[in-house]
């Protein structure tokens, strides 16, 4: 099954050079538009993030994933980072708007004056003066060259990248819970198989012990059977320990206290939903980690443009007005208002190479973001292609393993009947028993491995098989 990638990859590698004389960043129009026409306002479908879980027909899995979305602490931390990034975008955007401030107040001052006291001397007399003042001012750096707009757009792109990272964490959390759920389900079955095997071995051990007492079984058979019983007990303890650890780890991932109380599925489901043929490459456009990479690239481009425009002059406008009076009636009279208006221009004449260094640093960060975006795109397609190929291999392998498990189980039953009838030796029977256990244990592992690969495929595609970006 081939996943068409040409349009995405060619466009990803087309992103690149810009003119050094251009005061805009490398984005310069549509050049940094990601393949598939990504847009900052396009939402990532909720179904793409968790809707694919329905393919497994596991209601319990859906329930714990929904619980984790509200209780997982890593997700809560990511939500906090997203709120901070959005607030920072708002702060940066406000820098391009006029800043208006107002002041007002009343001051009462006490003074001392010397006045004649009528006897040729003087005396100190207190006097009081009250003044009222009010004022307002407007300060605005006129964004004539778009420098502030570059900075604002970069902050918005950063916020969009944080939003994409949040969605990526939601998708990853759902995938990790699904993986852990099916790992625990496999271990539940491995424990059950180990317990059934131990019970069977202990029953057979009793038969062999009686046979040794009656002289119909060899002491070697007894030793080997006892060895198998001890190994089965050890394996049961090991599988139980792994199940305990896996269940507690899953509880922590969900956001619960690790009390080992979570009940996972007692069986591994069969994949009832096949992979559609001809999956469109547009599915990857919704993949949140690629969207985050695209937004980081856009932010870097805007910062290159901002750095280049530092060499241009800046313009500021200041408007002020107000009044101050000791009489309230004058204070409220518009005839006594005073005002001022001014404009200023500032141009850097010499900075020792600071501006040029800032341009080169911003360009270097853009080059890094561009290379990361290209690499992430290639990695994404590699993950999809690998998972699609493994889907076929695992399906064929699972069919063969099912046949091996059926045949080995029948062979074990036949070997026991022949051993009990004295037709074969104990080594042949024990070997048949070992093969039967390994075949059935391997079948459980393969079932889980196929489920894990399907989870990897959904993670690589960024969600389910249907939800395209913007739907």
Contacts of 221 (CB under 8 A, 6+ apart): 208, 211, 212, 425, 426, 427, 430
State how far the Cα of 323 lies from the Cα of 329, in Å rounded to an integer.
12
What's the mean per-residue pLDDT of the chain? 82
Task: Give me the percent of the chain exceeding a pLDDT of 90.
Answer: 44
Count Cβ atoms within 10 A of the Cβ of residue 346 and give its class: 0-12 exposed, 13-18 middle, 19 or more buried. exposed
In the predicted model, is pLDDT for residue 219 greater than 60? yes
Unique residue bearing structure tokens 């993950």: 383
pLDDT-derived band at 30, boundaries 50, 70, 90: very low
Do the domain assignments include residue 340?
A: no
CB 72 within 8 A of CB 255: yes
Mean pLDDT over 366-391 rounds to 93
Unique residue bearing structure tokens 């090991």: 238
**Residue 373 or residue 104, greater confidence:** 373
Residues pairing with 141 in the sheet? 316
Do the domain assignments include residue 451?
A: yes
The total of structural domains in the chain comes to 1
In the predicted model, is pLDDT for residue 237 greater than 90? yes
Do the domain assignments include residue 468?
A: no
State how far the Cα of 140 lies from the Cα of 145, in Å rounded to an integer.
14
Domain that holds residue 185: 6-96+146-311+352-461
Which of 11, 108, 18, 26 is CA-nearest to residue 305?
26
Do the domain assignments include residue 370?
A: yes
**Residue 329 confidence (pLDDT):** 58
Mean pLDDT over 150-161 rounds to 92
Q: How many residues comprise the chain? A: 471
CB 89 within 8 A of CB 81: no
In the predicted model, is pLDDT for residue 453 greater than 90? yes
CB 302 within 8 A of CB 153: yes
Do the domain assignments include residue 343?
A: no
DSSP 129: E
Do the domain assignments include residue 102?
A: no
Mean pLDDT over 266-291 rounds to 84
Sheet holding 338-346, edge to edge: 99-116, 122-142, 314-325, 338-346
Over residues 188-208, the pLDDT tens digits come to 999 999 999 999 999 988 988
Task: Give me the percent of the chain exceeding a pLDDT of 70.
Answer: 81
Over residues 62-84, the pLDDT tens digits come to 999 999 988 888 888 988 998 99
Residues pairing with 108 in the sheet? 130
In the predicted model, is pLDDT for residue 93 greater than 90? no
Least confident of 6-15, 55-64, 132-141: 6-15
Mean pLDDT over 382-401 rounds to 93
Which string of DSSP letters, residue by residue, matches 394-439? HHHHHHHHHHHHHHHHHHHHHHHHHHHTTSS-HHHHHHHHHHHHHH
Do the domain assignments include residue 90?
A: yes
Do the domain assignments include residue 330?
A: no
Helix (H) or strand (E) holding 214: helix 147-214
**Residue 336 confidence (pLDDT):** 61
State how far the Cα of 16 lies from the Cα of 373, in Å rounded to an integer.
11
State how far the Cα of 204 lies from the Cα of 191, in Å rounded to an integer.
20
**Residue 45 confidence (pLDDT):** 44
Question: What are the respective helix, strand and coil percentages of the chain, to the nearest 5?
Answer: 65, 15, 25
CB 445 within 8 A of CB 182: no
CATH of the domain at 193: 1.20.1600.10
In the predicted model, is pLDDT for residue 40 greater than 50? no
């Amino acid at each position: 099954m081939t996943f068409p990638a040409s349009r995405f990859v060619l466009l990803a590698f087309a992103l690149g050079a810009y003119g050094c004389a251009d005061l805009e960043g490398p984005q310069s129009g549509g050049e940094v538009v990601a393949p598939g026409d990504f847009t900052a306002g396009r939402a990532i479908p909720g179904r793409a993030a968790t809707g694919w879980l329905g393919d497994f027909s596991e209601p319990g899995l859906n329930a714990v994933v929904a619980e984790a979305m509200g209780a997982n602490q890593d997700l809560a931390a990511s939500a906090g980072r997203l709120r901070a990034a959005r607030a920072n975008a708002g702060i940066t955007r406000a820098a391009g708007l006029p800043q208006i401030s107002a002041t007002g107040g009343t001051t009462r001052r006490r003074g001392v004056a010397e006045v004649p006291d009528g006897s040729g001397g003087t005396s100190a007399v207190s006097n009081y003066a009250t003044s009222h003042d009010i004022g307002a001012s407007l300060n605005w750096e006129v964004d004539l060259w778009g420098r502030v707009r570059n900075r604002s757009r970069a902050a918005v792109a950063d916020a969009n990248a944080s939003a994409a990272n949040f969605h990526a964490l939601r998708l990853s959390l759902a995938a990790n819970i699904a993986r852990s759920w099916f790992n625990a389900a496999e271990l539940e079955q491995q424990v059950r198989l180990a317990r059934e095997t131990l019970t069977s071995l202990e029953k057979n051990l009793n038969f062999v012990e009686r046979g040794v007492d009656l002289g119909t079984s060899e002491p070697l058979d007894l030793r080997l059977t006892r060895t198998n019983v001890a190994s089965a007990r050890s394996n049961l303890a090991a599988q139980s320990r792994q199940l305990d650890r896996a269940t507690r780890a899953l509880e922590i991932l969900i956001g619960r206290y690790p009390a080992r109380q979570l009940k996972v599925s007692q069986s591994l489901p069969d994949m009832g939903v096949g992979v559609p043929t001809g999956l469109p490459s547009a599915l990857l456009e919704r993949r949140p980690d690629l969207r985050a990479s695209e937004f980081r690239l856009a932010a870097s481009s805007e910062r290159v443009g901002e750095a280049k425009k530092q060499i241009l002059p800046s313009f500021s406008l200041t408007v002020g007005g107000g009044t101050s009076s000791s009489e309230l009636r004058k204070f409220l009279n518009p005839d006594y208002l005073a005002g001022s208006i001014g404009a200023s221009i500032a141009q850097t004449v010499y900075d020792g190479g600071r501006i040029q260094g800032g341009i080169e640093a911003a360009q270097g960060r853009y080059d890094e973001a561009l290379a990361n975006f290209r690499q992430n795109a290639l990695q994404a397609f590699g993950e999809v292609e690998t998972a699609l190929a493994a889907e076929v291999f695992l399906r064929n392998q699972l069919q063969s393993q099912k046949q091996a498990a059926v045949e080995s189980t029948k062979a074990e039953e036949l070997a026991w009947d022949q051993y009990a009838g004295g037709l074969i030796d104990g080594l042949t029977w024990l070997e048949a028993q070992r093969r039967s256990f390994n075949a059935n244990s391997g079948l459980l592992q393969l079932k889980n491995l196929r489920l894990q690969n399907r989870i990897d495929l959904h993670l690589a595609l960024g969600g389910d098989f249907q939800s395209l970006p913007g739907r």
